[in-house]
Each structure stands twice: as structure tokens, then as C-alpha cells.
Amino acid sequence: MAMSEQEHTERQPLRVPETLQSIAGITWRLLIIGIAFYLLVMALNLIFPVAIAFFLAMFTTALADPIARIFMRVLPKWLSVVLALLLIFLASVFLIGRVIGSIVEQGPALAEAISAGITEIENWLQQGPLSLSSDQVGQVEQKAQEMLASFGQSAVELVVNELGTLGTLIVAGSVYIFGTIFFMTTGREIWKWAVDWAPDRTRAAVDVCGQLAWNNIAGYTRGVVLVAIADATLVLIGLLILGVPLAPVLAAVVFVGAFIPVIGAPIATLLAALVALATMGPTTALLVVVLTVIVGSFDGDVLQPLVMGRTVQLHPLAIVSIIAVGAITLGIVGALIAIPVASSIYAVLKYLTGRDPNHPFPPDQTADDSTVDKVGQPEPAKGS
């Protein structure tokens, strides 16, 4: 006897919608990636000083690599590497010396001016349209001080705990020095050895992923130094035009803050607004705030795209969120390294998901002499 249409419909197995299947597939894959990333972070946390030393070695290599290649046109490889590292060392000592010298020389006056600026703001909060009571202002000030103290204490504790012992400093310093030297001199062999451990069918993809990650880290490292110098110079010129006192030390603070993208330089420039408020009145302070907006816009819309190019392809909101996560987890160190790490991961994921067809590294090449140059820097494909 024929089965009725109703009975046939009732006995059909339930079918999961394709949309739900896609969401479930993406979800469990993301969970696996998240677990793997968490385990990687935990492993790196166990060897934090060594990991930071390797990362700083990569930063130094990225800065010294173009200089070494210029020297290699007329000098032997080892001599070119030594001269490039020496030049980077002298430049770093000069810049750090100027920044620290300005802060030490004018630090007390800067602290006094900032304190006076905060007092002006407190008076405005009490006597201005908000009409806050002294207790309310005191509570806000206390909470701000507690937040800053907690952040500073966590950053200091992290550095002291991880690098506090002499033995750890020696080990981390040795890893940094030897890592930089070997990255500069035998980067090609190191990378080729690492890629050779990958299975044959994934070796080309691993090679491209590594090159994309290094390309982002190297481009970011070079770019952020140039952006920091440009930001500090623009702020110095602007403050001198406005006649704000302590302009050199404020520019030095901006230089340091610019190493944290998007938010670092504007936050540092706001200190100049406090100094201007205390020494020259609200009109000049407002002009400094305008200067902060101009520098921040010029940094995000012109300098970073021009200098860094395709290196940091993250939305400003994503950058701020990533910096916040890095600062909460690893303090100042996390805020500094969050963006290059995140941008490298983003570039690799774009390649693996087929969303970056214009990347400069061909996917059909393995890690041979044609894809990595003499000092470990990946070479773009010809014609790209």
C-alpha cells in the first residue's frame, strides 16, 4: 500500500540548514585556532625573556637590513653587517640620549607645569558649568591616580619579574646579540632549515606565510621609527610657533608615545595642552588640542599609509582594541609589540583564506635562494 504524503513527510530526517552548518564549521575551527593561540601564548610566557630578546633581534635586523645591503655593494658581507649594526647602535644611543637628556633636564619643570594644568582643570570642574563638588573632583582624581599607578606597577613588576635577575639579563642579552648577528648573516639558511621541516605539500604555503609575516614586521619596524621622528618634529614646530614652554621635552615625550600607533602621539601631545593651560591660558591650550587633532589625522591618514604602505591594514578601532589587549596582558611591552604581531597574523590569515591575491610572494616557490636574500629579508617576486 502506497505511503501517504503526510507519512512520507513525517519520516524524512531533519536537515540542518546550510547556514547553520557553515556557522558551526567556522565556530569549531575558530575554537581550535583560539586554543592553539592560547597554548602558544602560554609557552611564550614561560620563556618570556628569550621571546622578547628574539623579537628585539628581529626589530634590529629589520632596521639594519637595508643599510647592510647598501654596504654590501662595495664591502664584504661581515664588514657590512658590522657597520650597519654599529650605525644603528650609534643612532639609537643618540636618539635615546636626546630623549632621556631632555626629560631629565626639564622633567621637574614639566611635572610642575602638568600639575598646575591639572589644578586649572579641577578649578574649572568646580567653578564651571559642571559645578562639581571638591569631593567629587577628589574621587575622580583618586581613581585616575589609582588606574595609572596600577598600570605602571603592573608594567614595572612584569619587567622586574622577568628580567630582574642578573643571570636572566645575561641570557636575554646574549640571545639578542647572537640572534641579531645570525639573522643578519645567515637568515637565509635559518629560514630554509625551518621551512624544510614542513610537509612537502604545505612547504610553499609555510614559506609564503613566513615571508608575509616578516615583511609586515620589518615594514612596521622601519615605518614606526620614521613616523615617531616625523610626529615629534611636527609637534616641536607647532609648540615653538605657539610659544609653549618646554617644547623640546614635550616633543621627546611625543617621540616615545608615537611607538604606540594611533593613540600614543595624541595622548602624549595632550600633555602639552596641560602645560599650555597652566602657563599660557585656555586659548593656547585649545590651539594645542587642535594641534593634537591635526598631528593625529596626519599620522593616521598620511604618514602611516605613506611610510608603512600595506604593512598595517587594520582599522583604527581594531588597532586601539589590540593595543588595549596587549597593554592589559603584557603592560608596556604588550602595547609596543601588539600591532606588528597582529598585523602579521592578519596578513597570514588573508593569504590562507585567499583574500590577498596580490601579495608579492608567489605561492609556488619553496624556501630556496631565490625567495630569501643574503641577509634574511624576503625578496618580492619579479614584476610585483
pLDDT tens digits along 11-67: 556 677 778 778 888 888 888 888 887 887 777 777 777 888 888 888 888 888 888
More reliable by pLDDT, 337 or 136: 337
Residue 11 confidence (pLDDT) = 58
- Structural domain boundaries, residue 157: 42-352
* Mean per-residue pLDDT over the chain, rounded: 74
Q: Which SS3 state, helix, strand or coil, does residue 119 take?
A: helix
* CA distances, 68 to each of 79, 94, 197, 305 (Å): 9, 20, 29, 25
**Residue 307 in this model has a pLDDT that exceeds 80:** no
Residue 125, pLDDT score: 62
* Look-up of cell digits 615653538: 240
Burial class (CB in 10 A: 0-12, 13-18, 19+), 186: middle
Total domains in the chain come to: 1
Has residue 6 got a pLDDT over 60? no
Of the pLDDT bands very low, low, confident and very high (cuts 50, 70, 90), residue 73 is: confident
Band of pLDDT at residue 106, cut at 50, 70 and 90: low
Q: Is the model more confident about 143 or about 83? A: 83
The answer as to whether 50 is a domain residue is: yes
Residue 21 within a domain: no
Query: Is 107 a domain residue?
Result: yes
Residue at 172 is within a domain: yes
Q: Is residue 119 part of a domain?
A: yes
**pLDDT surpassing 70 at residue 384:** no
Q: How many CB atoms lie within 10 A of CB 109?
A: 14
Q: What is the CA radius of gyration of the chain?
A: 26
Rounded CA-CA distance 345/314 in Å is: 11
4 part of a folded domain: no
Distance (Å, whole) CA 309 – CA 223: 9
3 in a structural domain? no
Q: Is residue 295 part of a domain?
A: yes
